[in-house]
Structure 1
């Protein structure tokens, strides 16, 4: 393995810091579970959201919910173990030798796969909205439920294949519970490693940045078109005419919602991509790794916040479900 890391390698070893760490993880866990469960209840339980865009939002919520179900609880368990025993779990899984089953065998690929699914889904949401904005008359013919469902299946299959590729194609890459990031991460089996392992680890940031740059470019094109149509509508309104061409107000509002989602996810994924590149270059960046990975984990609860702020129909339906649940559970 790389230089051995101690549980106290990032200045979080005082009792107060340990407690704050556990509290933060537990609060984030409940936020992810509650937010994404609410999103799925609204999207799946409301006919208005049974659209290609709704399917993509449901896929994103499932990926984020999986982070809350599988990834964060393990970190909470490990952090509590560290508080009680002052020793971080020694979970390490190597391809080069037979090792017993450890939680990181599952949790590491799940976290990587769900992260890639989230990036891919945001990209697909941006494509879907750009078609609605750029080609409003053709959107129903181009964007269908069947095509969207096939794209969702492909995004999950491709993302998890990419997430497992370090373990499939290289014996120099291991999964370990990292005392710096407090998560199960891919690690290098030695300080000197072949170029193949280097290339495999860089697949993640290359994939992330490629999709994120593409997403940003498509959003810029969409917002430029929206601005052009908005100016045209204002000119026609001043002349006493009404424009019948261009995207609808609901499509414009939805595009702005996806734009806000893109901004948040780009800000969340970038630190991890930077960390992976630095780690492959030989930099440990212990404190930065904790910040980067937990910013990424926190992005799993941002979608419901953005929908609630930007989408009035989502907000009203979510409020109805919460009020109904409160009345049903009241004595």
Structure 2
């Protein structure tokens, strides 16, 4: 019995600790409304931690944050006024001046605000309060709306302020400093408020350039990979054993052109040009400070600048799925192609016996299934999700995302390098054996030269992919080690470092996704059969529309094999030494990358 009582007592104690902890971490009534009483002992610390953690998402307003700390007489208010932690822009600096400094705001902005008001109504008196109350925000030009003084003046109006004011916060602008500004609710209702409203012309130009560049790359990637898919489908002579890997790569790459790059444009538009909307206005029950204990209703408007409002979760999930899918398929296909080639050269006789089984097809089906699993993991795992990186690329995020990145990218990248080196070494041994036993005027021609060419081609493909991926891995590592770029640590955050990191992310993202463009050109340069097939295909297409194109000739198969992909027995020397039989050589002939 005593054991049971001890157990019950311990259970009650644990539950009490959990309840107290939950109350401490999640206060029930810490919402701010002018004049509403709260438990300042708990709420001052809670609001300060919440704003420091989530300010960059636009979930909280600096004006409401400082107003609440000031009205509640929080010790954090004096600390904020001294450190001015979030004074990243002229506007946010003026917000500190408004709440912390005596007449500092009036001294800095009175001339501009009074001048703008008199331009609208010259009969008003030249005083600060009359100027801000007489200012009609809806009559201001777009250039005037970018003025921080006029923005903070809208908050000062008797009819403005809390629940009638909207802040625009965007610290993830590539090649541009943080964006932070504020507007009267009337402008928001008219659809005139967005991040674009606050951006200087130089920042607007950089975003337009990125959007145009994304469109051009999308077109180029679609055309290049559609060429590969069409050539493989139309011309049997280039369908060797590893053509299935080329097909898989082209299919993954064309997804980048059809979905990923176009969504770069849509993501930039939603982030910077999409109009903001006012948050929901609701009533909160509370009591007046130093007043009656009878509960009253206080009007509170939810902030509407949150990241989730601008970029819906469904959109992030859709784009993120295809982004992770295409990248996963690309890297694992290269790994599988390298392993296939090593096996073909190491065990040619056994490989030839099993070549009738579509091993490459089975391998690629498994790769696509595995990649789909990787892509849907953020849907199923609570600790994962999809978010925007540098305002354009939707990628996996969450506390365990590093593990996912290691599985998807780091491990297969190391494996791909290992397979590439092994393939090159094996092919070199094969070339040496061929030269030793081949008979002819020039033993360097023929199959030996072809194998050497194949090794170089595969190495080029892996090298190009590595050059595209490695910068992203380096940036990820830097992001995990640099404390000055974390937005949830505002006391350590350095704006210049954060902007430089975001801009670098943009560059490496474009480098990474441009990998989808290069394979077609590698084939064209290294594969004579593929180049001839493309020439014939586009020549026929031009002839169909009445254009005079280049003359098409069939691929000549003369002395030795083509640079890549020949399958004819005529490509082999008539005499083979006993060390290399024709079956082995013929089998290796089919291992084109």
Question: What is the TM-score normalised by the length of structure 2?
Answer: 0.48
Partner of 1:52: 241
**Equivalences for residues 67-216 of structure 1 within 5 A:** 67-80=256-269, 84=273, 92=308, 102-144=314-356, 146-169=358-381, 171-178=382-389, 180-188=390-398, 197-198=399-400, 200-216=401-417
- Following the alignment from structure 1 to structure 2, what is the Cα–Cα distance between the partners of residues 173 and 236? 57
d(CA) in 1 for partners of 2:385 and 2:306? 13
- In structure 2, the partner of 1:192 is none
- Counterpart for residue 175 of structure 2: 10
Alignment equivalent of 2:461, drawn from 253, 261, 268: 261
Q: Is the 8 A contact 2:175 2:203 kept in 1?
A: no
The CA deviation string for residues 190-237 of structure 1, in whole angstroms up to 9 with x for no partner, is xxxxxxx33x43222343222122221222122223333444555667
In structure 2, the partner of 1:326 is: 542
Map residues 294-309 of structure 1 onto 2, 5 A cutoff: 294-309=510-525
Residues in 1 aligned to 2:439 and 2:212: alpha-carbon distance in whole angstroms: 56
Measured in 1, the distance between the counterparts of 2:393 and 2:440 equals: 60
CA 1:82–1:226 in 2, change beyond 3 Å: closer, same or farther?
Answer: same
Shift of 1:86: 8.5
Q: Match of 1:219? A: 420
Higher helix fraction: Structure 1 or Structure 2?
A: 1
Task: Tell me if structure 2 keeps the 8 A contact 1:272–1:292.
Answer: yes
Distance 2:482 2:451 in 1: 46
CA contact (8 A) 2:378 2:384 kept: yes
Q: Quote how far apart the aligned CAs of 1:176 are.
A: 2.4
SS in 1 for 2:348: coil
Deviation at residue 128 of structure 1 after TM alignment: 1.9
Q: How does 1:276-291 map to 2 (within 5 A)?
A: 276-280=476-480, 284=485, 285-291=501-507
* Partner Cα distance (1:248, 1:137) in 2: 18
**Equivalent residues, number:** 313
The CA distance in 2 between the partners of 1:166 and 1:277, in whole Å, is: 21
Give TM-score, length-normalised by structure 1: 0.81
Q: Distance in 2 between matches of 1:222 and 1:68?
A: 30
Q: Provide the C-alpha distance between the structure 1 equivalents of 2:439 and 2:531, rounded to a whole number of angstroms.
A: 33
Tell me which structure has the larger Cα radius of gyration: 2
Aligned to 1:194: none
- Partner Cα distance (1:34, 1:9) in 2: 28
Q: Is the 8 A contact 1:181 1:293 kept in 2?
A: no
Alpha-carbon separation, structure 2, partners of 1:242 and 1:100: 63
Ranges in structure 2 where 5+ consecutive residues have no aligned partner: 1-52, 58-169, 178-201, 277-304, 486-500, 548-593
Deviation at 1:181, TM superposition (A): 4.8
- Give the drift of 1:278: 4.1
In the TM superposition, residue 108 of structure 1 has moved relative to its aligned partner by 0.4
Aligned to 1:184, the other structure's residue is in SS state strand
After superposition, residues 25-40 of structure 1 pair within 5 angstroms as 25-40=214-229
